[in-house]
């Protein structure tokens, strides 16, 4: 039930807040985010630093939930709301907000027993990884000049 509720909440937020007119600009970044999610799932199969838990639900379903639920929806909104003034301080503050939200979501998964860390992995490792991921999404969007697709 936890993952079904998560799915409904995530996509409801996206439906309410997403500027769907910008899909040509933002969708490539979402696909990139989902691809990175698949890569991390493959790595975690061999180095199980974390695991999603839910009795009776196949692990593949839980992992694909991230790739086609949280990753694209969060990445879409992250890119959509990039600050107009992209000074270093604005961007650091913006990344701080998004990484804090991401780590809060992971913390909820941990305290409700729907996720487990192993082999010394901690929330701090996830927090650092989140900073790297959001920076990669930003750079992917910026370097490919995707903003011009919405003009």
pLDDT at residue number 95: 98
pLDDT at residue number 151: 63
pLDDT at residue number 64: 82
When divided into structural domains, the chain yields a total of: 1
Instruction: Give the number of other CB atoms < 10 A from CB of residue 44.
Output: 16
The answer, yes or no, to whether residue 150 has pLDDT greater than 80, is no
Instruction: Give the number of other CB atoms < 10 A from CB of residue 69.
Output: 20
Q: What is the pLDDT of residues 57-98, one digit of tens each?
A: 787 888 888 889 999 999 999 999 999 999 999 999 999 999
Strand residues in 29-119 grouped as ranges (E): 50-52, 115-117
The answer, yes or no, to whether residue 11 has pLDDT greater than 90, is yes
Helix, strand, coil in percent for the chain, rounding step 5: 75, 5, 20
| Closest C-alpha among 13, 122, 130 to residue 73 | 13
In which domain, by residue range, is 92 found? 2-150
The answer, yes or no, to whether residue 8 has pLDDT greater than 80, is yes
Q: What is the pLDDT of residues 92-133, one digit of tens each?
A: 999 999 999 999 999 999 999 999 999 999 999 999 999 999
What's the rounded mean pLDDT across residues 29-38?
Answer: 96
């Amino acid at each position: 039930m936890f993952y079904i509720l998560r799915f409904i909440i995530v996509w409801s937020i996206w439906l309410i807040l997403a500027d769907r007119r910008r899909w040509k600009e933002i969708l490539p970044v979402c696909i990139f985010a989902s691809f990175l999610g698949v890569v991390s799932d493959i790595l975690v199969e061999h180095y199980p630093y974390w695991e999603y838990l839910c009795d009776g639900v196949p692990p593949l379903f839980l992992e694909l939930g991230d790739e086609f639920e949280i990753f694209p929806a969060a990445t879409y909104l992250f890119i959509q709301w990039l600050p107009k003034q992209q000074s270093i301080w604005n961007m650091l503050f913006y990344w701080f907000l998004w990484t804090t939200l991401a780590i809060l979501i992971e913390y909820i998964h941990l305290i409700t027993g729907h996720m487990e860390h192993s082999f010394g992995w901690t929330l701090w490792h996830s927090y650092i990884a989140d900073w790297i991921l959001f920076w990669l999404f930003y750079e992917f969007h910026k370097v490919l000049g995707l903003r011009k697709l919405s003009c």
